[in-house]
């Protein structure tokens, strides 16, 4: 048996109190009658009154109240199977989150405008699975293909240039990563909406487009920005809004590159569109091209729907009250049934404020007025301070506001419930909070607990539990994959850093080698100086070795270098050395001054 609303179950505590009230009332009436009249007058006063019927009437009222409470709980038993078929297209949105998307030629900037339009697209996408890939210098699958558009919105809201640690714009990698999100066996029903400014800094996007075409994927590029381009505005260390500069100190101006995006569209059979402040073609592309693509069956499932049977206990309660009214006597004939109905009305009226305030709060929540909804939930808690359902709703509102710590605290308070499904949903939502906080390991544990609570091979917990279990399994697998990707990315970055460090060490050693070689010309200069200042000694040595004939004479033009001439020669050699050193330094700087685009 299933129950629709266990919040009213605590009203059953009134049933024994009502029975005790009847017992005390009978005793008080008997004592009052004894004080009012003698024993001989009792029979005359109570003539025609049956104590047995009074007890039966009281029992009928108590039972009627019990069945009324049971009706409020909404018992469900009996079910029927319903086959649900889902058809649609698989769509992956590849969104550029590089810093060039912060350019404000599209207001407020390219990235925020794109996120706004994607959210509007979700309002018209019906039955299609949708996924999200974020890319900059590399690409990650942020949200796998899903029919849960609410979860997709959460991942979309979190995107920013800080999402991808590597700067740049790797359009080719984004296309390949998007292809990985699809089922590889299918060769159609797949579309990629690529939103970027087209300034590709990495890889070969056209080769990636050819690979996408082989897999039956159609790419619809959307160029965000204007041909004239715009400066990229970022915040400096002091929080001031400044224009982004490249590594060489020049101010960066981002331009829309439509040529590459057009080639990608032509290669895959898609269509390129340009987006600016006046027009975003996202919905038009979906309506005219993607929605016209051949749909496929995304899945079918049999859902067990339980029948709501609250009418049965309600009918029993009304029947008991009617019987009780028929058993009434004399003056109490009309008064007692009226009293019972008044009691039932008071009970329902007492419950109404809680239900009404909860409904009002839920309505405010649906309108995204989360602060007002929280205030109304708090007001409802005055009637049910320990309600697990209210704590769950409060946690959900905090989650939507982004107050994740408060949301986790509220969801934890919802654990105190007999409703296993509600407890599982609380663990599931805590996992979502922890994921957004970056606590991936803790999120895994929360999803695991939700899976354990809804482990129901016999299907006794109902379809809602099955949905929670499936969603928790999906998120658990996604987070595990995310952790693996992050570890692989971290390992890759460490390897790149090690390579860069090795390169710098090698360059440093080369520079040291150059510095050790630099004194050599000075030594040569000293040798030349000595040779020039002592020509006679050198000639005498040569004469001794060669043993020339006595008649051999010294050349007439060979004379000793003066001190001034030696200094001029040294100065010239020093100037040549300085020029050589400067030339080497400039060559080295030109070799290392390759400015990579990281915006």
Q: Which two tokens stand for residue 3?
A: 């129950």
The predicted pLDDT at position 594 comes to: 36
Structural element, H or E, at residue 183:
none
Q: At what angle do helices 370-380 and 332-366 cross, to 10 degrees?
A: 150
The predicted pLDDT at position 416 comes to: 83
pLDDT tens-digit profile of 202-238? 678 999 999 999 999 999 999 988 877 777 877 777 7
The predicted pLDDT at position 540 comes to: 39
Burial 146-171 (b: 16+ CB within 10 A, else e): bbebebbbebbebbebeebebbbbbb
The secondary structure of residue 97, as a DSSP letter, is -
Integer angstrom CA distances of residue 428 from 100, 239, 444: 36, 37, 10
Classify domain 90-294 at the CATH superfamily level.
Answer: von Willebrand factor, type A domain (3.40.50.410)
In tens digits, the chain (599 residues) has pLDDT values of 777 777 777 888 888 888 888 878 777 776 666 666 555 555 555 555 566 777 788 888 888 888 888 888 888 888 777 665 667 889 999 999 988 888 888 888 889 999 999 999 998 887 789 999 999 989 999 999 988 888 899 999 999 988 887 888 899 999 999 999 998 777 778 999 999 987 765 678 999 999 999 999 999 999 988 877 777 877 777 777 777 776 666 777 777 888 889 999 999 999 999 887 777 888 889 888 888 787 766 666 566 777 778 888 888 988 888 888 887 655 444 444 544 554 454 444 444 567 778 888 888 888 778 888 888 888 888 878 888 899 999 999 998 888 888 999 999 998 888 888 899 999 999 999 998 888 888 999 999 999 999 888 777 788 888 888 888 898 898 888 888 888 887 888 788 888 888 777 777 777 766 555 544 444 444 444 444 444 443 343 433 333 333 333 333 334 444 555 555 555 555 555 555 455 544 444 444 333 355 55
Please enumerate in sequence order all residues whose Cβ is within 8 A of that of 200, keeping only pairs 6 or more positions apart, or say none: 169, 170, 171, 172, 257, 260
pLDDT tens-digit profile of 407-440? 999 999 988 888 888 999 999 999 999 988 888 8
The two counts, helices (H) then strands (E), for the chain are: 20, 13
Torsion over CA of 405, 488, 134 and 150, rounded to 10 degrees?
-40
Peptide bond into 108 cis (omega under 30): yes
- Residue 271's SS3 state is coil
The predicted pLDDT at position 595 comes to: 37
Q: What residue spans define the domains of the chain?
A: 90-294
pTM of the model: 0.44
Burial 212-249 (b: 16+ CB within 10 A, else e): bbebbbbbbbbbbbbeebbbbebeeeeeeeeebeeeee
The secondary structure of residue 165, as a DSSP letter, is S
Residue 308 β-bridge partners:
76
CA distance 92 to 143: 9
């Amino acid at each position: 048996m299933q129950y629709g609303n266990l919040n009213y179950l605590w009203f059953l505590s009134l049933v024994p109190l009502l029975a005790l009230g009847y017992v005390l009332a009978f005793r008080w009436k008997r004592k009052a009658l004894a004080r009012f009249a003698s024993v001989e007058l009792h029979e005359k006063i109570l003539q025609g009154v049956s104590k047995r019927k009074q007890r039966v009437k009281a029992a009928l009222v108590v039972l009627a109240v019990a069945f009324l409470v049971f009706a409020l709980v909404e018992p469900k038993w009996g079910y029927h199977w319903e086959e649900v078929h889902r058809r649609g297209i698989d769509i992956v949105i590849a969104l550029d989150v590089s810093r060039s998307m912060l350019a404000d030629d599209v207001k407020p900037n390219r990235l925020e405008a794109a996120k706004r339009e994607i959210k509007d697209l979700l309002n018209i996408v019906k039955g299609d699975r949708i996924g999200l890939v974020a890319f900059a210098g590399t690409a990650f699958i942020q949200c796998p293909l899903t029919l849960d558009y609410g979860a997709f919105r959460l991942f979309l809201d979190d995107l920013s240039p800080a999402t991808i640690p590597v700067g740049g714009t790797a359009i080719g990698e984004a296309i390949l990563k998007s292809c990985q999100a699809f089922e590889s066996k299918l060769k159609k029903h797949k579309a990629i909406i690529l939103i970027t400014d087209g300034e590709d800094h990495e890889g070969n996007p056209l080769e990636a487009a050819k690979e996408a075409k082989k897999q039956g994927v159609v790419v619809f590029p959307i160029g965000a920005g204007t041909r004239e381009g715009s400066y990229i505005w970022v915040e400096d260390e002091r929080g001031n809004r400044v224009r982004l500069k490249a590594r060489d100190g020049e101010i960066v101006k981002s331009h829309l590159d439509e040529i590459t995006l057009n080639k990608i569209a032509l290669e895959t059979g898609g269509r390129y569109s340009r987006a600016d402040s006046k027009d975003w073609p996202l919905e038009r592309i979906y309506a005219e091209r993607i929605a016209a693509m051949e749909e496929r069956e995304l899945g079918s499932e049999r859902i067990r729907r339980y029948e709501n049977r609250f009418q049965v206990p309600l009918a029993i309660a009304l029947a008991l009250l009617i019987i009780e009214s028929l058993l009434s006597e004399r003056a109490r004939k009309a008064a007692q049934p009226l009293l019972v109905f008044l009691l039932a009305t008071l009970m329902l009226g007492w419950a109404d404020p809680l239900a009404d305030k909860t409904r009002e709060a839920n309505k405010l929540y649906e309108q995204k007025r989360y602060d007002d909804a929280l205030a109304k939930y708090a007001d409802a808690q005055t009637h049910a301070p320990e309600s697990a359902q209210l704590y769950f709703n409060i946690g959900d509102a905090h989650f939507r506001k982004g107050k994740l710590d408060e949301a986790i605290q509220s969801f934890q308070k919802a654990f105190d419930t007999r409703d296993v499904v509600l407890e599982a949903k609380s663990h599931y939502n805590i996992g979502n909070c922890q994921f957004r906080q970056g606590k991936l390991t803790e999120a895994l544990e929360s999803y695991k607990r939700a899976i354990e609570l809804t482990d129901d091979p016999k299907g006794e917990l109902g379809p809602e539990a099955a949905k929670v279990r499936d969603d928790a399994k999906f998120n658990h697998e996604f987070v595990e994959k995310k952790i693996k990707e992050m570890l692989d990315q971290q390992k890759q970055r460490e390897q790149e850093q090690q390579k860069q460090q090795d390169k710098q060490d090698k360059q440093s050693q080369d520079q040291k080698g150059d510095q050790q070689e630099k004194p050599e010309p000075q030594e040569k200069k000293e040798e030349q100086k000595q040779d020039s200042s002592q020509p006679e000694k050198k000639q005498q040595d040569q004469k001794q070795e060669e043993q020339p004939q006595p008649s051999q004479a010294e050349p007439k033009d060979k004379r000793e270098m003066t001190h001034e001439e030696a200094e001029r020669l040294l100065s010239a050699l020093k100037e040549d050395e300085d020029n050589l050193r400067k030339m080497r330094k400039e060559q080295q700087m030109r070799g290392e001054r390759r400015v990579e685009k990281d915006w």
